A and B are shown apart, each in its own frame.
Chain A
Amino acid sequence: MKKPFKISLLVSVTVISFVIFYYSLKANNKNNPNIMLNKPLPAIELTSLVNANLKQELPLINRDKYYLINIWSSWCVPCREEHPILMKLKDKIKIYGINYKDKKTNATAFLNKLGNPFYFTGSDKDGSISIEIGAYGIPETYVVNSQGLIIFKHVGPLNKKIYLRISKIIK
């Protein structure tokens, strides 16, 4: 192989690799574990925590512009931390709570003590409802629109940054 040929081959391979990895940096930001973004929320039926005869089906179509779903439980410490933020959000947007693998007494005591931000609280005794909507650890929060699409999902406790983001989305 002649030298100029070798060099041009080298340069082309290197530049191509550079471009590929450059795009990988761009691509990675889109690929955060939100496979369900802009997909419809799977249909679930929640049974109220306080009244076993009261049921709520989600998603709601063509009702509210946006609403929140928050998965929580009384024994979950980060849930305790994000609670004040939920209380702030409750005046801006309806929040449907899913009480995850919890005892009714503990859950109600929790809400009585710290305040109830939920428009409706459903109970998920065996964790299957949370799995149905693609959750794997609590707390998790979803923002759903009037078409029933999940437009935002956050895993972990809400913080100030996420609160601002959600506020922006739901304007």
Chain B
Amino acid sequence: MRNIFLIILFIFFIPAQLVMASAEREINIYKNIRCLVCQGQSLNDSNSDFAVDLKKVIKKKIIKKQTDQEIYKYLTERYGDWILLSPPLKKNTILLWIIPTLFAILGAIFLIKRVQLAFLNKDN
């Protein structure tokens, strides 16, 4: 009896997980798309007309089982890369993150050299 109960629970659990996962996927997509008529907000944050309409369009595509990439491609074909909020981590924008990191590392190296010099002075 208990086993059957557990099996039934398990059977309902999976779709529930899937539903939650897909709702999360939907929201993650919305968070990554810029609302074009707002000031730097994502579709997820905005309730403007355009945002609401675009969300409906995207939702239809999710239901039609399109992948994230297909959906992003659809949008960038029409609105440019600009519509994706976080600069896509493509090889194009990797420099955006690498350059400051390089500077930080360089700075740290120079600084450590100074600190070492300072330690030597301190002992003097």
- Residues in A lying within 8 Å of B, measured CB to CB: 33, 35-36, 39, 42, 101, 126-128, 131-134, 136-137
Contacts and interface: CB of A to CB of B under 8 A. Distances in A.
A75 to B, nearest CB: 11
B45 interface: no
Nearest to A39: B77
B79 A128 contact: no
Contacts of A131: 53-54, 57, 78
Contact of A127 (B49, B76, B80, B82): B49
Contacts of B85: none
B25 interface: no
B36 interface: yes
Contact of B80 (A33, A126, A132, A133): A33
Contact of B37 (A101, A132, A136): A136
A33 B77 CA distance: 12
B53 A127 contact: yes
A137 B78 contact: no
B114 interface: no
Name the 8 nearest CB pairs between A and B, nearest first. Answer: A134-B78, A127-B53, A35-B80, A136-B36, A131-B57, A128-B57, A136-B50, A137-B37
A35 B77 contact: yes
Central interface residue in B53, B80, B82, by most chain A CB within 10 Å: B53
Contacts of A39: 77
A137 B78 CA distance: 13
B73 interface: no
Nearest to B60: A128
Given A35-B79, A136-B79, A137-B36, 13 more contacts: A35-B80, A36-B78, A42-B78, A101-B49, A126-B53, A126-B56, A127-B49, A128-B56, A128-B57, A136-B36, A136-B50, A137-B37, A137-B50
